Amino acid sequence: MEKFDLIVIGGGPGGYLAAERAAAGGLRTAVIEKRALGGVCLNEGCIPTKTLLNCAKMYRHATESENFGVTVEGARFDHEKVIARKNKVVRSLVGGVGSIMRAGGVTVINSTGKILGKDSGGFCVENADGNQYKADRLCIATGSEAAVPPIPGVREGMARGFVKTNREILDMTVLPRRLAVIGGGVIGLEMACYFASVGVEVAVIEMMDKIAGATDSDICRVLMHEYSKRGMQFKLSCKVKHITPRSVIYEEDGAEYACGCDCVLLAAGRRPSTEGVGLENIGVITERGAVVTDEHMRTNIDGVYAVGDCNGKLMLAHTAYREAEVAVNHMLGVEDKMRYEYISSVIYTDPEVASVGETRESAEAKGMTVKEVKLPMAYAGRYVAENDGGNGFCKVVYDTERDRLVGVHIIGSYASEMIFGAAHMCESEQPLAELKKLVFPHPTVSEIIRECLFKL
């Protein structure tokens, strides 16, 4: 029976980075992955969706560029080629992760892994072929899966391909004429954005009274306005009642309506994927399927860690990366701990949305005394130069008692690329006077943050 210092179960962002860092730290490491390295993020999430969204953006630029002095005649969109390019990108990056594992000396086991128990020799893990491995430590990184609510007709719809999750919809080679999206969160909005941008009739059905979850309400309104202009329909405060062979039946204000469609995207959230891992065999505590962890990513069982979506903290790839670093640092005796307060989030729609920290409402709910400043992106010269009539803005939230920035929220071009700087401003807890000394390159859209700081 082969013995390792660490076995990582799951090869997604948290899993493969944990394996890489552990091996670099001198631990003999194996990673067990039942599908392809890279997990949901690389194979059926972050990377594939951004590939599609970039193609849609290029198409929109080709068809809506007259005001910039560019006219493109006969522009057309080939969804099948887009999917082929997506597959090429994914293969390349998955191969890259594999190369990193090989270069680092990590043993990759392409199979399922189940924890059988623990004895004096360590934790015992068995793969689907019956091969057993032992390790002094385990890192659970099994990710998450699409939540499938108990909606009548949804399972039947999935069986015949009418209802799809994020996994199946990314492999469609033919565009539907009409798409119904159940769920107005990040996954639903990004996919709705893609399909609406290339001519599909899209309706988003959301049970809450706003889209995008905890995202700033003003941003949500701008996003809805932009996509309503492009023909997307939003049905808020609506509860899906059941799925028929050709429609989604939903309830609004006590009455039932039918949303006819050729395809349904089920984007009603995600849940930790921890069933069948064997956590119960060693007594790991879970809550609603999520592995319970502390600030060092330790579970209640000594030597067992959990990183990424499976712990249910923040289901974001960059969160998983940081959690992996914290977990491995603890294994290696390096002082470190996980903080979730200022982890940024991005919605890669067009326009982009990026946020970090508190909104005014959430800050005040925590008892903070805050000041909020909101400025249109027109304050940034580059934004005006590159956008025709854009209505993006930046909003900052400042804790007046503690003299620190506690939130930044942006909708507009390059939002995803500059939010890390805002996150650092919040995380550093520097006083406002020091933040004002930062020099922003000109002309950049990021200067909007500086403008907001000087309005506080």
Strands 233-235 and 201-205: parallel
Domains with residue ranges and CATH for the chain = 2-145+271-331 (3.50.50.60), 154-268 (3.50.50.60), 345-453 (3.30.390.30)
**pLDDT, tens digit, for every residue of 340-355?**
999 999 999 999 999 9
Residues comprising the chain, all counted: 456
- Across 428-449, average pLDDT: 98
* pLDDT of the residue at 348: 97
DSSP string, 141-197: ---EEE-----TTHHHHHHTTSEE-HHHHTT--S--SEEEEE--SHHHHHHHHHHHH
In this predicted model, what pLDDT tens digit does every residue of 290-314 receive, in sequence order?
999 999 999 999 999 999 999 999 9
- Compare 382 and 389 and report the one with higher pLDDT: 382
Pairing of β 247-252 and β 163-164: unpaired
147: phi then psi, degrees, rounded to nearest 5? -75, 135
Averaged pLDDT, 376-381: 97
Query: Would the pLDDT of 389 be above 90?
Result: no
Q: Which two tokens stand for residue 282?
A: 């060693």
Active site residue 442: yes
SS3 309: helix
pLDDT of res. 1: 86
State how far the Cα of 132 lies from the Cα of 120, in Å rounded to an integer. 15
Q: pLDDT digits over 28-60, tens only?
A: 999 999 999 999 999 999 999 999 999 999 999
**Average pLDDT in the 61-68 region?**
93
CA angle 118, 309, 266 (to 5 degrees): 130
The pLDDT of residue 329 is above 90: yes
Mean pLDDT confidence for 397-413 = 98
β-strand 107-110 against 290-291: which pairing, if any?
unpaired
The answer for residues whose C-beta is within 8 angstroms of residue 427's C-beta and 6 or more apart is: 339, 341, 342
Crossing angle for the helix pair 46-63 and 79-104, nearest 10 degrees? 140
Tokens 């000394």 found at: 437
**Catalytic choice (61, 79, 242, 442):** 442
What 3-state class would DSSP assign to 46?
Answer: helix
Tens of pLDDT, residues 71-97: 999 999 999 999 999 999 999 999 999
pLDDT of residue 178: 98
Proportion of the chain above pLDDT 90, given as a percent: 99
The model's pTM? 0.96
Q: Is the pLDDT of residue 218 over 90?
A: yes
What type of residue is 235? K
Confidence of residue 142 (pLDDT cuts 50, 70, 90): very high
**Pairing between β-strand 290-291 and β-strand 286-287 as defined by DSSP bridges:** antiparallel
To the nearest whole number, what is the mean pLDDT of the chain? 97
Phi, psi of 226 (to 5 degrees): -60, -45
3-state secondary structure at position 322: helix
What are the backbone angles phi and psi of residue 22, rounded to the nearest 5°? -65, -45
Q: What is the mean pLDDT of residues 347-366?
A: 97
> Apex CA 159: angle with CA 153 and CA 161, to 5°?
100
Does residue 24 carry a pLDDT above 90?
yes
Cβ(357)–Cβ(397) below 8 Å: yes
Q: What is the mean pLDDT of residues 236-264?
A: 97
DSSP string, 49-94: HHHHHHHHHHHHHHHS-GGGT---SS----HHHHHHHHHHHHHHHH
Strand partners, 117: 124
Q: How many CA atoms lie within 13 A of 72 on its CB side?
A: 12
Is residue 152 very low, low, confident or very high in pLDDT (cuts 50, 70, 90)? very high
Tokens standing for residue 310: 């499976």
Cα–Cα distance for residue pair 46/54, rounded to 1 Å: 12
φ, ψ at 405 (rounded to 5°): -80, 130
Residues near 179 by Cβ (< 8 Å), separated by ≥ 6? 192, 195, 200, 201, 202, 203, 261, 262, 263, 264, 265
pLDDT tens-digit profile of 179-214? 999 999 999 999 999 999 999 999 999 999 999 999
Q: What secondary structure does DSSP assign to 324-365, as a single string?
A: HHHHHHHHTT-------TT--EEE-SSS-EEEEE--HHHHHH
pLDDT at 10 over 90: yes
Tell me how far apart the alpha carbons of residues 169 and 101 are, in angstroms, rounded to a whole number. 29
